[in-house]
Amino acid sequence: MQTIKAAVCHAFGAPLEIEDIHLRAPETDEVEVTLGAVAICHSDISYADGAWGGSLPAVYGHEAAGVISGLGSGVTGLALGDSVVVTLIRACGTCGNCAGGKPTLCQTPYDGDAGPITTVAGGKLHQAMACGAFAEKVVVSQSQVVRIDPEIPKDAASLIACGVITGVGAVVNAAGLRAGQDVVVIGAGGVGLNAIQGARIAGARRVVAVDMSAEKLEIAKDFGATHGVLATEPKPWQAAFAALGGRGADAAIVTVGAIPAYDQAPRYLGYGGKVVMVGMPHSGATSTYEPVIFAAVGQGMVGSKMGDVVIQRDIPWMVDLYAQGRLKLDELISGRWRLDQINEAIANTKSGAARRNVIVFDQ
């Protein structure tokens, strides 16, 4: 049992507290990773604010990268010193969904209360999202990590763990976008910018970004958006239709958890179009649709968790695109912070100004 620093949530909505916690050694199929960076995702903030409930005290954080510093006895294909991306996708490999190629929907439950971390007094400490990466080190299942080139900066690599695979995967995997099709991306934050990148990489004809901020729409064009539409317009979908040459989109990717965005999303679609639901509203929030329209023009809606990725398949090609200069990662980083500055970084993220704030560690 070793002692490490972590940012602990003791009460929903309260500042995280930097304190010592205990981390046990990795067991059979687990690896210990000494972290170089962990990005702050809006999901971490929503959990810490109590939007989805959960066990407390807890350590959040799930977009991480670092170096393997410990191995369980049954780990294969990984070695001490390997650079890795750490994800929240903990896959058993044997349930129906895992065996069917959908590890993001693994049906084997994980009890974060019985994970590898405890308080220094030996009390319960919840490892949120099977990661608990707002800490100097993590112990996770080997199914959650992917080896990467050690030359890839850890702050950039950490973004791949969630924001990048979620946005790019929503377009490539969930929407199944084909070259020449049109896309509307609602929300030009961190995940939205990656959905825009995914559309560009997939060969979209036109990519329309929709956001409340004119500044964010300009940034979106740097990532591949061909047009920008302010969500504050009375009927923003009409502006999107005009940008698409008078037709609706083949896919509308909703990357924010705002109910008005979900209410309006189908209006951006053309015949046979699909809404891909990525952003996560608070529990209990609802949206309303007119089903006859979906039936009449062959439209659909589908949820996409973590971009429907298979991490051992999808992360390597995304890393390769970054190395080639075809996938922007460094440009996604708004600020770099120390662990003891995490509450300031969270406040900055909540302000809406940040693309991704990253906590960096000395290695």
Closest by CA to 181, choosing from 147, 226, 136, is 226
> What's the CATH code, domain 167-305?
3.40.50.720
Backbone dihedral angles phi then psi of residue 275, each to the nearest 5 degrees: -90, 130
**Cα atoms found within 13 Å of the Cα of residue 360, Cβ hemisphere only:** 14
What is the three-class DSSP state of 264? helix
Q: Which residues contact 156 (CB under 8 A, 6 or more apart)?
A: 322, 329, 330, 333
Give residue-wise pLDDT tens across range 27-63.
999 999 999 999 999 899 999 999 999 999 999 999 9
Q: Which amino acid is at 83?
A: S
Closest by CA to 167, choosing from 195, 193, 188, is 195
> Beta strands 333-337 and 249-254: pairing type?
unpaired
What are the extents of the domains in the chain?
Answer: 2-147+329-360, 167-305
- Residue 118 CA to residue 38 CA, distance in Å, equals 20
Q: What is the average pLDDT value for the chain, to the nearest integer?
A: 96
pTM score: 0.94
In percent, how much of the chain has pLDDT > 70? Answer: 100
Ranges of residues in the chain with a pLDDT under 50 are: none
- At 215 the pLDDT is 94
Q: Annotate 201-263 with DSSP letters as a single string.
A: HHT-SEEEEEES-HHHHHHHHHTT-SEEEETTSSSHHHHHHHHTTSS-EEEEEE-S--HHHHH
The tokens of 279 are what? 């952003």
Ramachandran region, residue 308 (left: φ > 0; alpha: ψ -120 to 50; beta: rest):
left
The distance in angstroms from the start CA to the end CA of the chain is: 20
| DSSP one-letter code for 274 | E
Q: Annotate 150-173 with DSSP letters as a single string.
A: TTS-HHHHHHIIIIIHHHHHIIII
- At 363 the pLDDT is 53
For 295, the enclosing helix (H) or strand (E) is helix 291-297
> Beta strands 83-86 and 63-71: pairing type?
antiparallel
The tokens of 87 are what? 């994800």
- Residue 66 CA to residue 338 CA, distance in Å, equals 15
> What's the CATH code, domain 2-147+329-360?
3.90.180.10
The tokens of 209 are what? 């970004």
